[in-house]
Amino acid sequence: MSAHNQSISSTRGSALLHAYLDKVHSYHSTPSSYPPLTSALTSACSYRIASAPKPLSRPSSRPPSAWPTPPMSPTQSSSSHDNLLPLPSHSIRMVEKQLPEGKDLKTQDVFEKVVRTRKGKEKAVGEVWLDGQTPTRPTTTSLTAPPFLFTYALSSRTISLHTPSAVHKLPLEEGESFWDWFSQAQTDLSTASNPGNRGKGWRGGWAGWFGYEMKEESLQGYKRSADAANKSEEVDACWAWSNWILERQSTGEWSLRGLIEDRLVNSVENHGQRPGSLVEWLDILGIAPGLTSAEFDDLAENVEKSLREGALENGAQPADGFPKFTPVSNGEDYQARIDLSRESIRQGDSYELTLTTSFRSQLEADSDPYALYLRLRTFNPAYYSTFMSFPSLATPRGNGIHVLSSSPERFLKIEREKAGRVVEMMPIKGTRARPKVGQCVCEEGRGCGGKDKGSKACQEERERVDEEIGMELQGDVKERAENLMVRSIRRKPQVTC
């Protein structure tokens, strides 16, 4: 059992601490004395609150909606099994083809030839490039063109299924959350996959994002602001389905994977019945989650041809610069939010608050999001970069949503191992940049003195500087505290969910 000091000053902090001490005393047979406490501790706000007489067990004067609340667990929708269509029989298997050519090609050239200009592009709703642009270590990258995607709007609680030719809408029923629906969709599609495909690596899946406001359906007590709640048909979640992926390994070699569906999909007569899952919805619309064998063969032929032909003669060029961004709030408003955040932490209502700042810019009508991304990956190469483009996706501000992301850290990676699932996190808090392989960090009088890059003396100096940075980081109180804090925060959701 453990207690966090940030909880003591919260609404029920005193009761929490007394309950904790009762357990400690019981376990240790109620020791009669403890080592004397320092004056700094006894004068602290948290100690004075905890030292007050033990509170009586009585109802709180605050309404339940104001109590701190835990995350909501997924619940079975009350309508998910009532009057549903029978689930059609799907059989999906994954095939993989190793491609020996194209090892020396730039990933940009392959993306433009295979995804942006390929034969059959009209059958896709967008473009996805899960990039890895960094000079510091080998990376992988993945390219695909999703056949369909869905979006979700909190304001209307409506899921919209987008295909290249149409948009179909499905309102959620009372008591059903988006998380319930999406979880069922993933379960159905996973069940349809051949159990023999459950090894490591990609087996088909989603590429997209959840908006911050999706907390309203996952965190009890959270309510969107009035401004956010009034936004009509805002895209609060967007996920595109990928039934094939072209992946570049860290060695530069390419492999093509695809989901082959051994079943011809025909539209299902539903007689006005509401589809109970994504798979049923796709069947009603005549949309196959997988490729046919012929479609995969055509795709493989096109990819092999693109890799064999070599680099593009007239590839896309990065934008000349970035648009000018301005913050959405002024300095006075931002300072007020900082003060509120500090007070919330002092009161114990929050453990840590990340106060983000939004910046906006107005692009010219003829601006090319892809050219801007090429500029971004050149200006700020990052291990976890992403370009997603869905040009036909309608929003309240017009057509098209494009994601240009450049992140140096991994939030979560989950892999299936023999002993179970393994979660990997790679935060950058509490870290320092290390000298790059082959980099000369020598100064006058040290190593090669900057005159013989790559020499033995140069390598030894780089190793010495690398070790020195590590020792400085290890002894930095602030950096260690920040690293331990983020590790604790990221570990906690895995234990409680």
Torsion region of 452: left, alpha or beta (phi above 0 gives left; psi -120 to 50 gives alpha): beta
HSE, CB side, 13 Å, CA atoms: give it for residue 180.
19
Question: Is residue 123 within 8 Å of residue 133, measured between CB atoms?
Answer: no
> 376: pLDDT confidence band, cut at 50, 70 and 90?
very high
One-letter amino acid for residue 249 of the chain: Q
> 237: pLDDT confidence band, cut at 50, 70 and 90?
very high
pLDDT digits (tens, 9 = 90+) for 268-284: 555 566 787 888 898 88
Q: Name the phi and psi angles at 363, rounded to 5.
A: -85, 155
Mean pLDDT is highest, among 111-125, 284-298, 339-353, for 284-298
Alpha carbon distances (Å) from 370 to 108, 302, 376, 391: 11, 22, 10, 11
Report pLDDT for 364.
83
Pick the range with the lowest mean pLDDT from 97-111, 227-241, 338-352: 227-241
Q: Please tell me the distance from the alpha carbon of residue 384 to that of residue 348, in angstroms, as a whole number.
A: 34
Alpha carbon 474 to its chain's center: 29
Report pLDDT for 99.
94
Question: Is residue 460 within 8 Å of residue 447, measured between CB atoms?
Answer: yes
- Does residue 247 surpass a pLDDT of 70? yes
Instruction: Kindly report the number of other CB atoms within 10 A of residue 190's CB atom.
Output: 15
Report pLDDT for 20.
67
Report pLDDT for 101.
92
Q: Please tell me the distance from the alpha carbon of residue 376 to that of residue 192, in angstroms, as a whole number.
A: 39
Q: Name the phi and psi angles at 199, rounded to 5.
A: -90, -160
> 43: pLDDT confidence band, cut at 50, 70 and 90?
low
Higher-pLDDT residue of 490, 383:
383
Higher-pLDDT residue of 312, 241:
241
Calculate the average pLDDT of the chain: 78
Higher-pLDDT residue of 411, 489:
411
Q: Name the phi and psi angles at 125, rounded to 5.
A: -95, -5
The pTM is what?
Answer: 0.74
Alpha carbon distances (Å) from 118 to 113, 127, 144, 455: 6, 11, 11, 46
Pick the range with the lowest mean pLDDT from 4-13, 300-309, 349-358: 4-13
Q: Please tell me the distance from the alpha carbon of residue 256 to that of residue 245, in angstroms, as a whole number.
A: 6
pLDDT digits (tens, 9 = 90+) for 202-224: 667 899 999 888 988 888 778 88
Pick the range with the lowest mean pLDDT from 155-169, 268-282, 388-402: 268-282
Q: Please tell me the distance from the alpha carbon of residue 410 to that of residue 101, in angstroms, as a whole number.
A: 30
Q: Name the phi and psi angles at 341, rounded to 5.
A: -65, -45
Residue among 160, 143, 171 at smallest CA distance from 237: 160
Question: Is residue 192 within 8 Å of residue 92, measured between CB atoms?
Answer: yes
What average pLDDT score do residues 96-103 get?
Answer: 92
Tokens of 338: 């900082």
Pick the range with the lowest mean pLDDT from 51-55, 159-163, 287-291, 362-366: 51-55
What average pLDDT score do residues 243-265 get?
Answer: 85
Higher-pLDDT residue of 441, 431:
441
Report pLDDT for 196.
53
Report pLDDT for 55.
42
What average pLDDT score do residues 296-314 get?
Answer: 90
* Chain position carrying tokens 């906006």: 360
Tokens of 214: 């999706």
Question: Is residue 60 within 8 Å of residue 12, measured between CB atoms?
Answer: yes
> 61: pLDDT confidence band, cut at 50, 70 and 90?
very low
Report pLDDT for 7.
46
> 69: pLDDT confidence band, cut at 50, 70 and 90?
very low
Report pLDDT for 373.
95
Opening angle at CA 195, ends 190 and 201, nearest 5: 75
Alpha carbon 430 to its chain's center: 21
